[in-house]
Chains A and B, each alone.
Chain A
Amino acid sequence: MTVQEVQTIQEVEAVQESTPVAPNILRTRRDGVWEVYDGVWGSYIRPTDDPDANVVIDEENLKQFDLKEDIHRIPSELWTKWVRLCFHFVDKVSSSVEVSIRILRNQDDPSQYRFLVPKQKVSGASVRVENFDTAVDIATGEEIIQYPPDGWIPVGSSHSHNTMQAFFSGIDDKYELDDPGIHLVVGSIDVKNMKYAIAASVVGSRRRFIVDFSKLIDATPVNGSEFHEKVLDYVDAALPKFIATTNYIAPSKWTKKVSKIDDSLDEKWNNPNYWGWDEDAYMESSSDPFYWESDSNKSKSNQEYGLAVWDVIDMASDYARKNADDQNRLHTLRDELMDFINDLDVSLSVFVNS
């Protein structure tokens, strides 16, 4: 090859490199892969497969989660304060209720955690928080008026299921799958034996990954680690007031049977030997889990307030959940609710017609 021929080839190559070539495959950042399709009547772009695809993602792949090993765990002292609050709302109120916290981490030091208790309405089967802007620090009692507080990043939540099993309910999924981070449930609270269970998860990309709680939490009980008393002002455990009619059951309180408070429990609280966790649900199998109580004077800590729709739904759901194994009770509940709905239909039709 002569020198002249080499120069000619190089010149041709140089021309080719400088000529822009419109790609046939168009890759967007989030809107998939497109191709320039040369159709019978003309050309247009249409979605297509990626010719350079190198993997197939299936359902099983989407369930996989590899938890990092170097996670800063929630410290035991802080976790103990939270567990004590969960126990409080089983042991120290006339009927066990749930309670919820927000978990935050320090922006500069992710090993520093903070638990905030937002102003909330609670019942035996639910927690409702209208706005996180009114909250209190479980450890210091500092009242928060703007959420998230400066320098702190929300990273998840935890709530109690009182004596019910620790699991993630449908309503938990509804709210937590849109709230990426860690979400923890404290359940199966057994005041007598000082045991409880933890369900731990990490939520990301609207999926929940169940993880070993000990990877996220140091759950070692800490003597003397108490929640700040101001927290109790933020948890409204008032029970709904039913309006009595002659057509259906009209209790003033639907509650759970609780045993007489054992004074010796205070000693057990301070004894780490009584602490533990248990994945099995604890339930007094010999006792009736629910009963109607008409004497509201027996209530010590609760106040009555107007009945909200969600109160009705929550209590019905709570009752159904607690009696899931009792077909007779479920049928009775269904019949009562159906009667109620029929009565409501009649009332509404009168109202509409008038």
Chain B
Amino acid sequence: MAFFDQIRTADQSSPVTLLLNEESITLSADQFSGKTVSQLFGEYGHQLGNVTRINRFVLNGEIVPGTTVVRAGETVRGAVSSESKG
């Protein structure tokens, strides 16, 4: 089927993990390929929490800017930076 041939198959190898606090989601290679930390949290982080309040990214234990490109098998942690209580 012609148009099916144009649909990419899901790549399950070497996923990337996004974390907010201790909650996580896993992204397949076809989802994270070539994207930055900010882009990934922007696209997929909403499943964890409010990405607009995340201002700190930790990649493999080190704080990194949001422009860092994520590679296969890496784990990126985001942290919210502000709050209000009532």
- A169 on interface, CB distance cutoff 8 Å: yes
Residues of A in contact (CB 8 Å), total 49
Nearest residue, chain B, Cβ from A26: B7
Instruction: Give the residue name and chain of the B residue nearest to A175 (CB).
Output: B83
Stretch at the interface among A120-128, A221-229, A280-288, A299-307: A120-128
Q: Is B82 an interface residue (CB 8 A)?
A: yes
What sequence of 0s and 1s flags, for each residue 1-45 of chain B, a beta carbon within 8 Å of any chain A beta carbon?
101110100100000000011110000100100000000000010
Binds B, one of A50-58, A73-81, A150-158, A251-259: A150-158
Q: Does B60 contact A (CB under 8 A)?
A: no
Interface of B is mostly: mixed
Q: Is B49 an interface residue (CB 8 A)?
A: yes
Stretch at the interface among A60-68, A177-185, A266-274, A329-337: A177-185
Q: State which of B5, B20, B49, B86 has its C-beta within 8 Å of the C-beta of A126.
A: B86
Q: Does B84 contact A (CB under 8 A)?
A: yes
Option from B5, B31, B53, B83 in Cβ contact (under 8 Å) with A29: B31
Q: Please name all residues of chain B whose beta carbon is closer than 8 Å to the beta carbon of A170 when the two chains form the complex.
A: 86
A146-B63 CB under 8 A given contacts A29-B28, A29-B31, A179-B83:
yes
Instruction: Return A163 CB to nearest CB of chain B, in Å.
Output: 15
Instruction: Report how many A-B pairs have Cβ atoms within 8 Å.
Output: 105
Give the shortest distance, in Å, between A43 (CB) and chain B (any CB). 7
Bound form: Cα–Cα A30–B3 in Å: 20
* B21 and A159 form a contact (CB under 8 A): no
Contacting pair B82 A125 (CB below 8 A): no
Given contacts A29-B10, A29-B31, contact A44 B3 (CB under 8 A): yes
A129 to B47, CA, bound (A): 24
| Contact segment of A2-10, A130-138, A233-241, A345-353 | A130-138
Please indicate the chain B residues that have their CB under 8 angstroms from the CB of A171 in the complex.
84-86
Known A36-B1, A180-B48; judge A147-B22 contact (CB<8 A).
Answer: no
Which residues from B are CB-within-8-Å of A23? 4
**Chain A residues whose C-beta falls within 8 Å of the C-beta of B72 in the assembled complex:** none
B22 → chain A closest CB, angstroms: 6
Docked-complex contact A129 and B82, CB < 8 angstroms: yes
- Decide if A204 is an interface residue (CB 8 Å cutoff): yes
Contact flags (1/0) for A75-118 with B, using CB distance below 8 Å?
Answer: 00000000000000000000000101000010000000000000
Given A127-B85, A178-B80, A204:B50 Cβ within 8 A: no
Known contacts A28-B10, A179-B21, A206-B49; decide if A154 and B80 are in contact (CB<8 Å).
Answer: yes
| Chain A positions near chain B (C-beta within 8 angstroms) | 22-23, 26, 28-30, 36, 43-45, 98, 100, 105, 125-133, 146-148, 150, 153-157, 159, 169-172, 174-181, 204-206, 314, 317
A sample of 24 inter-chain contacts (CB < 8 A) reads A22-B5, A29-B28, A36-B4, A43-B3, A100-B83, A100-B85, A129-B84, A132-B82, A147-B81, A148-B58, A153-B21, A155-B22, A157-B83, A169-B86, A170-B86, A171-B86, A172-B85, A174-B84, A175-B53, A176-B83, A180-B21, A180-B22, A180-B23, A180-B49
